[in-house]
Structure 1
Amino acid sequence: MKFLIVFVALFAIALARPDVHTLREESDVGPESYKFAVETSDGTKKEEEGHLKGAGTDDEAISVKGSYSWVDTDGNSHTINYIADENGFQPEGVDVPKA
């Protein structure tokens, strides 16, 4: 869980470029779950929530659901929705190639 908190903090720092301003930043971190949201003035958005499944068992795992979006240099908006759990990272979106 400490790794996750550090990752979120580093992500926020990376977004804090001088020409881009944070419009919204929310977080709620607990011992078995978390969620956060960040939105910046350049159109970038990231929302994620996760929770611990099977706490204290051999099948203990973190299940994560989230999305991120950005605006490219042509002004087009892109969004990726994802789930990350014991089955791996599973992204969905127009920009994700289909197998």
Structure 2
Amino acid sequence: MSSRIIFLSILACALAQYRPQPNYQPNPVGKVISILKQLYDLNPDGSYQWSFETENGIQSQQQGVLKTIGTELVPVVTGSYSYPSLNGEQVVVQFTADENGFQPQGNVLPTPPPIPEAILRSLAYNAAHPEENEPQYKPQKRF
């Protein structure tokens, strides 16, 4: 009896090892969005451009070139992207990325408030009346 239990235990362990794995079936949460247009060009000189457009109104495009600054090649990238916001407004952002960093511009990006008049007057006064240099320390001769 015990040999039968041992045999069945070994058989169960051996068969458990070979269970078929479940196949992965992707289950998208929402509607699958089609890509209407897609372009990608890579040139031998290192420049490129790509763009795409989807059926739900998302668009993006970008161009890049290599610019020589001194002895270094620096990438310069320009592009834009747009998409419809939840309230129906079209969000559009244009950008440049070069040796000066990433510089976005768009209709939804925050802008700084205007500089108050008192600060502008203070800056003008400071520019018109630079401070005198403080005297430098001059050690006395020792006797």
Task: Give the TM-score category using the shorter length.
Answer: 0.7 to 0.9
Pair 1:44 & 2:52 matched: no
Identity of aligned residues (%): 33
Higher share in strand: 1
Q: Which runs of 5+ in 2 are unaligned?
A: 1-29, 113-143
Q: Which runs of 5+ in 1 are unaligned?
A: 1-16
For the aligned residues, what is the CA RMSD? 1.9
Higher share in helix: 2
Using the size of structure 2 for normalisation, the TM-score is: 0.53
Tell me by how many angstroms 1:83 deviates.
0.3
SS in 1 for 2:72: coil
Greater Rg by CA: 2
Matches within 5 A, 1:19-38: 19-31=32-44, 32-38=46-52
SS in 1 for 2:79: strand
Using the size of structure 1 for normalisation, the TM-score is: 0.75
Matches within 5 A, 1:3-82: 19-31=32-44, 32-54=46-68, 58-82=71-95
State the number of aligned residues: 82
SS in 2 for 1:60: strand
Structure-2 residue corresponding to 1:96: 109
- Which protein, 1 or 2, shows the higher relative CO under an 8 Å CA cutoff with sep ≥ 6? 1
